[in-house]
Amino acid sequence: MALNVLSLFTISTFILLSISFVSISVADTNQTTPVSPGTICKSTPNPSYCLSVLPKQSGNVYDYGRFSVRKSLSQSRKFLNLVDQYLQRRSGTISTAAIGALEDCRVLASLNIDFLLSSFNTVNTTGKTLSALKADDVQTLLSAILTNQQTCSDGLQLASPSWSLKNGFSVPLSNDTKLYSVSLALFSKGWVPKNKKSTAWQPSKKQLPLRNGRLNLKMSQQTRVVYESVSTRKLLQTASVDDQVMVSDMVIVSQDESGNFTTISDAVAAAPNNTDGTNGYFLIYITAGVYEEYVSIAKNKKYLMMVGDGINQTVITGNRSVVDGWTTFNSATFAVVAPNFVAVNITFRNTAGAIKHQAVAVRSGADLSTFYSCSFEGYQDTLYTHSLRQFYRECDIYGTVDFIFGNAAVVFQNCNLYPRMPMSGQFNAITAQGRTDPNQNTGTSILNCVIRAADDLASSNVTFNTYLGRPWKEYSRTVYMQSDMGSLIDPAGWMAWSGDFALSTLYYAEYNNTGPGSNTTNRVTWPGYHVINSTDAANFTLSNFLLGEDWLPQTGVPYTAGLL
Active-site residue, from 63, 381, 396, 402? 402
CA distance readout (Å), 199 to 21, 169, 540, 562? 10, 42, 9, 11
- The reply to whether 324 belongs to the active site is no
Q: Are the CB atoms for 445 and 21 separated by under 8 Å? A: no
Of 36, 200, 59, 32, the residue nearest 129 (C-alpha):
32
Q: Which residues contact 109 (CB under 8 A, 6 or more apart)?
A: 76, 79, 80, 83, 148, 152
Of 74, 361, 15, 324, the residue nearest 66 (C-alpha):
74
Cβ neighbours, 10 Å, residue 65: 28
Instruction: List, in sequence order, every residue forming a beta bridge with 405; answer none if it has no partner.
Output: 384, 432
Q: What is the distance between the alpha carbons of residues 143 and 441, in angstroms, rounded to a whole number?
A: 7
CA distance readout (Å), 491 to 146, 307, 503, 518, 534? 34, 39, 18, 8, 23
Q: Which residues contact 94 (CB under 8 A, 6 or more apart)?
A: 86, 102, 163
Long-range CB contacts (within 8 A, 24+) of 373-377: 373/212, 373/213, 373/310, 373/311, 373/344, 373/345, 374/311, 374/343, 374/344, 374/345, 374/346, 374/347, 374/348, 375/311, 375/312, 375/346, 375/347, 375/348, 376/347, 376/348, 377/347, 377/348, 377/349, 377/350
Q: What is the distance between the alpha carbons of residues 299 and 366, in angstroms, rounded to a whole number?
A: 8
Catalogue the active-site residues.
402
